């Protein structure tokens, strides 16, 4: 199998095993007050049972109630964290229990999407996406001159395009571009602009303005409700 294909396949999903907390806090009746404070500080409702992996303790009205873990609150250690059904599970429970076969091996809270493996995974997807867009432009017979022409055609009332047109029209820059594959010197947002203008695809700039900038600037996608008041409580939205 082609090496590049293997590397691409490895990046097809990110599993719960990569972001879960394996050092699990279990409910212990002997430390009920400590367990209650743990839940209150983090705005979480469930702790797993020490004695039975199919049971948990639900914290409500300042007390714990033993319950069976519903299937909708279970995920497998190998499950993909980016599927719609997972969002629905977090909407219902906010804390999910991670199983390997029939054994509880971890817990995951929706704020665990702030962990480094999530940033690395999304960055790798964006990297492949950007490389794919360059290939798509080349397949459609376009090159660096088309991008410069795009800047020229759209520079009216847009200082950014004026600056880019002047920069890439420089003879030294043109020489540097000839030493690289097409489109290597342009930003992701530039690729979007040319692809959209040529009606090859329709891509929202939010991919760059929201997703890419969050990843590149290491901004947590899951925000706190109010970090100064409660540093461990997050906003699910």
* Fold annotation for 3-113: CBS-domain (3.10.580)
* Separation between Cα atoms, residue 118 and residue 88, nearest integer Å: 19
Residue 102 confidence (pLDDT)? 87
| Mean pLDDT, all residues of the chain | 86
Region 59-66: mean pLDDT is 91
Residue 233 confidence (pLDDT)? 62
pLDDT at 35 over 90: yes
pLDDT at 210 over 80: no
pLDDT at 11 over 80: no
Residue 149 tokens, joined: 């022409």
Contacts of 81 (CB under 8 A, 6+ apart): 13, 14, 15, 16, 18, 19, 108, 113, 118
**Residue 184 buriedness (CB in 10 A; 0-12 / 13-18 / 19+):** exposed
User: Residues 176-189: pLDDT tens digits?
Assistant: 989 999 999 999 99
Region 65-93: mean pLDDT is 93
Name the helix (H) or strand (E) containing 132: helix 116-139
* Separation between Cα atoms, residue 231 and residue 100, nearest integer Å: 31
Residue 234 confidence (pLDDT)? 60
Q: Do β-strands 74-76 and 63-68 pair in parallel, antiparallel, or remain unpaired? A: unpaired
pLDDT at 79 over 90: yes
Task: Please state the pTM of the whole predicted model.
Answer: 0.75
Region 196-219: mean pLDDT is 81
Asked if 106 and 20 count as a contact pair (C-beta separation under 8 A), the reply is: yes
Residue 205 tokens, joined: 């700039």
Residue 13 confidence (pLDDT)? 87
For the chain, give every domain's residue range. Answer: 3-113, 117-216
Most confident among 16-30, 134-148, 154-168, 220-234 (mean pLDDT): 134-148
Region 54-59: mean pLDDT is 92
237 pLDDT tier (thresholds 50, 70, 90): confident
Region 70-85: mean pLDDT is 94
Region 40-48: mean pLDDT is 88
Residue 228 confidence (pLDDT)? 43
């Amino acid at each position: 199998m082609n090496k590049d294909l293997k590397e691409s396949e490895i990046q097809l999903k990110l599993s719960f095993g990569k972001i879960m907390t394996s050092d699990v806090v279990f409910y212990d009746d002997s430390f009920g007050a400590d367990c209650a404070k743990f839940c209150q500080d983090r705005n979480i409702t469930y702790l797993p049972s020490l004695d039975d992996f199919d049971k948990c303790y639900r914290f409500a009205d300042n007390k714990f109630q033993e319950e069976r873990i519903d299937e909708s609150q279970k995920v497998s250690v190998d499950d993909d964290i980016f599927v719609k059904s997972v969002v629905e599970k977090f909407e219902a429970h906010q804390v999910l229990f991670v199983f390997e076969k029939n054994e509880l091996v971890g817990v995951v809270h929706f704020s665990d999407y702030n962990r480094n493996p999530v940033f690395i995974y999304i960055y790798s997807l964006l990297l492949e996406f950007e490389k794919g867009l360059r290939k798509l432009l080349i397949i459609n017979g376009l090159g660096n001159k088309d991008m410069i022409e795009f800047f020229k055609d759209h520079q009216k009332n847009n200082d950014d395009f004026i600056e880019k047109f002047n920069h890439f029209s420089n003879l030294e820059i043109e020489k540097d571009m000839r030493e690289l594959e097409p489109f290597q010197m342009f930003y992701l947002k530039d690729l979007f602009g040319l692809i959209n203008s040529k009606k090859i695809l329709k891509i929202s700039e939010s991919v760059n303005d929201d997703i890419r900038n969050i990843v590149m600037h290491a901004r947590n996608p899951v925000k706190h409700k109010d970090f100064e008041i409660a540093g461990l409580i997050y906003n699910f939205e």
